[in-house]
């Protein structure tokens, strides 16, 4: 009996590990890239010492995250880095923990308003998060100050940096969600990947092996690679990202890199599932400095999207909510110029928990696609974000950043933050990922896709990954659990222990 696993991300590696533990020996993991880990990728910084996770960085839901617990038992390092947010407005500066505005309290009320709208009422239409927050401001305007109207929705937009998409695309119903416990930053995820890989023979994995087709012939599955090499197996577990799997139902994408042709075609339940779920584009930019010359007491800083007094006037003066929506549509259409203040950005101050002179910045689609497309031009990336980065440094008591990337031998004053390197992710540009992880647009319901992929294409062709689970969807541990699930499914049918 044999099993072929497509993809050496966390779900594929866990499937192989668990199957091997069950006693299966004839296993192959086929990976398109020249490395393992999938959307887990740890890289080294300019000094050869600092390490960063360009993919997932955190263990979420640590109260019920078995992958986290297992890693702790194995000695893997982590830090709990939950912290209060600093919120920065372009014109006003810091607006967090303000004794008059109390924006964090208004954000909690918007959260509750969303909960009432979608989980305590019947038949509420799912709209964009932008539309829902605007509706809240319109309906509750007599209870809000002008400053609360101006800034509160912008504070709530930090959720874009969870989902990886702009609030105009983000499902309001799916926006707020509760994590089960604190968030622990992995130090780093390469240790998790290495630990799992050591549980089975390394010969099981074949790198640089792109699969082109998966065909079921009665009780056999025939897997064909780009180089026309064929593998026959009793079972096949497909762990490619949802974004890449979707190419398989698109006839116009037949020539796209990473596309797998299924024979028979993916079943109707899976095809229907793609109609009710989308994919986010969370990206990262690492700003590496020569040394720490800013305050270490706060770890989480969000620069807010710019807003104006005219927005407050529009909310106050609108006769109907439709009038206000028309105003918002006009404002959205005007925002065509790319600017670091057009959307919220999340800066993680690594000096606090890691004693590292770096910031890890998170961004969302569609900004991610643009920044990742210019990733090789580090000066251009720096110039784009410099105004926001200067505001972050100012909030931490530091001077403006100095670009020292082009001559590492240049020396500067001791108290000047000297930028030495910029690292940009590549997830939206890379054909084997095409984004970050599952996200919901207005009207989406990921459950249809999750159920369809959990049931599989057939009893012989199965699926694993963050997009195939409800608990832990979009998370590393969710993908890991799905690998265990599929290994158990196959082991039971192979009469393994």
If one looks up domain 3-38+189-278+445-493 in CATH, what number appears? 3.50.50.60
Tens of pLDDT, residue by residue over 80-111, are 998 999 999 999 999 999 999 999 999 999 99
Please report where in the chains the tokens 């599929």 appear, as a residue.
486
pLDDT value of residue 93: 97
Residues of the chain under the 70 pLDDT cut: 1
Question: Positive or negative CA dihedral for 409, 411, 414, 418?
Answer: negative
Buried b (16+ CB within 10 A) or exposed e, 275-299: eebbbbbbbbbbbbbbebbbeeebb
Would you state the pLDDT for residue 262? 98
CB 379 within 8 A of CB 405: yes
Secondary structure (H, E, C), the chain? CCEEEECCEHHHHHHHHHHHHHCCCCEEEECCCCCCECCCCEEECCCCCCEEECCCCEECCCCCCHHHHHHHHCCCEEEECCCCEEEEECCCEECCCCCCCCHHHHHHHHHHHHHHHHHCCCCCCCCEHHHHHHHHHHHCHHHCCHHHHHHHHHHHHHHHHHHCECCCCCECCCCCCCCCCCCEEEECHHHHHHHHHCCCCHHHEECCCCEEEEEEECCEEEEEECCCCEEEECEEEECCCHHHHHHHHCHHHCCCCCCCEEECCCCHHHHHHHHHCEECCCEEEEEEECCCCCCCCCCEEEECCCCCHHHHHHHHHCCCHHHHHHHHHHHHHHCCCCCCCCCCEEEEEHHHHHCCCEEEEEECECHHHHHHHCCCCHHHHHHHHHHHHHHHHHHCCCCCCEECCCCCCCCCCCCCCEEEEEEECCCCCCCCCCCCCEECCCCCCCHHHHHHHHHCCCCCEEECCHHHCCCCCCCHHHHHHHHHHHHHHHHHHCCCC
Compute CA distances 159 → 154, 230, 379, 469, whole Å: 10, 45, 28, 21
What pLDDT is stored for residue 407 in this prediction?
84
Is the CB of residue 133 less than 8 Å from the CB of residue 160? no
Specify the CATH number for 85-185+281-424; select among 3.30.565.10, 3.90.660.10, 1.10.10.10, 1.20.1740.10. 3.90.660.10
Max Cα distance, the chain (Å): 72
Structure tokens at 160: 């874009």
pLDDT for position 409: 77
Specify whether the CB–CB gap between 333 and 118 falls below 8 A: no
At 339, list the tokens.
Answer: 């600017």
Annotated domain spans of the chain: 3-38+189-278+445-493, 85-185+281-424
Look at the block and give the residue holding tokens 């075609």.
265
* Distance in angstroms (rounded) separating the CA atoms of residues 317 and 10: 52
Instruction: Give the Cα-Cα-Cα angle 49, 58, 301 (nearest 5 degrees).
Output: 85
Radius of gyration of the chain (CA): 24
- pLDDT at position 412, please? 84
Burial of 324 (0-12, 13-18, 19+ CB in 10 A): buried
Q: Are 170 and 163 in contact (CB under 8 A)?
A: yes
**Which among 54, 61, 3 has a CA at the least distance from the CA of 470?**
61
Distances, alpha carbon 9 to alpha carbons 78, 112, 183, 246, 464, in Å: 21, 36, 21, 18, 10
């Amino acid at each position: 009996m044999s099993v072929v696993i497509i993809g050496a991300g966390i779900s594929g590696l866990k499937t192989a590990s668990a199957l091997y533990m069950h006693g299966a020996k004839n296993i192959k993991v086929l990976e398109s890239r020249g490395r393992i880990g999938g959307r887990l990728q740890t890289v080294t910084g300019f000094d050869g010492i600092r390490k960063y996770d360009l993919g997932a960085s955190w263990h979420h839901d640590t109260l019920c995250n078995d992958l986290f617990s297992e890693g702790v038992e194995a000695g893997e390092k982590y830090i709990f880095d939950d912290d209060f947010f600093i919120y920065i407005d372009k014109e006003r500066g810091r607006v967090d923990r303000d004794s008059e505005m109390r924006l964090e309290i208004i954000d909690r009320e918007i959260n509750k308003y969303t909960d009432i709208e979608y989980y305590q009422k019947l038949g509420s239409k799912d709209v964009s998060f932008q539309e829902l927050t605007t509706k809240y401001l319109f309906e509750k305007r007599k209870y809000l100050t002008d400053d609360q109207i101006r800034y509160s929705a912008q504070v709530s937009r930090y959720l874009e940096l969870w989902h990886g998409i702009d609030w105009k695309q983000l499902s309001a119903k799916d926006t707020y969600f509760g994590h089960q416990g604190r968030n622990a930053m992995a130090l780093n995820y390469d240790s998790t990947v290495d630990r799992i890989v050591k549980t089975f023979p390394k010969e099981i994995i074949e790198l640089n092996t792109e699969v082109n087709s998966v065909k079921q012939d009665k009780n056999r599955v025939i897997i064909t690679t780009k180089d026309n090499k064929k593998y026959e197996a009793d079972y096949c577990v497909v762990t490619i990202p949802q974004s890449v799997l979707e190419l398989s139902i698109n006839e116009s994408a037949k020539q796209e890199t990473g596309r797998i042709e299924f024979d028979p075609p993916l079943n109707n339940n899976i095809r229907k599932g793609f109609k009710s779920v989308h994919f986010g584009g969370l990206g990262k930019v690492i700003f590496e400095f020569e040394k720490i010359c800013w305050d270490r007491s706060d770890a989480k800083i969000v620069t807010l999207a710019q807003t104006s007094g005219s927005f407050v006037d529009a909310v106050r003066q609108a006769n109907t909510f439709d009038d206000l929506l028309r105003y918002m549509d006009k404002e959205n259409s005007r925002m065509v110029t790319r600017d670091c203040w057009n959307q919220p950005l999340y800066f993680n101050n690594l000096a606090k928990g890691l004693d590292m002179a770096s910031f890890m910045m998170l961004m969302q689609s569609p900004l991610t696609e643009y920044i990742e497309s210019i990733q090789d031009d580090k000066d251009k990336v720096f110039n784009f974000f410099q105004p926001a980065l200067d505001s972050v440094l100012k909030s931490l008591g530091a001077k403006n950043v100095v670009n020292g990337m082009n001559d590492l031998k240049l020396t500067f004053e001791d108290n000047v933050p000297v930028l030495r390197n910029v690292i940009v992710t590549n997830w939206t540009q890379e054909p084997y990922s095409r984004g970050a992880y599952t996200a919901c647009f207005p009207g989406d319901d990921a459950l249809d896709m999750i159920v369809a992929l959990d049931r599989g294409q057939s009893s012989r062709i199965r699926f694993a990954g963050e997009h195939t689970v409800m608990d832990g969807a979009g998370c590393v541990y969710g993908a890991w659990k799905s690998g265990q699930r599929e290994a158990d499914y196959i082991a039971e049918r192979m009469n393994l222990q």
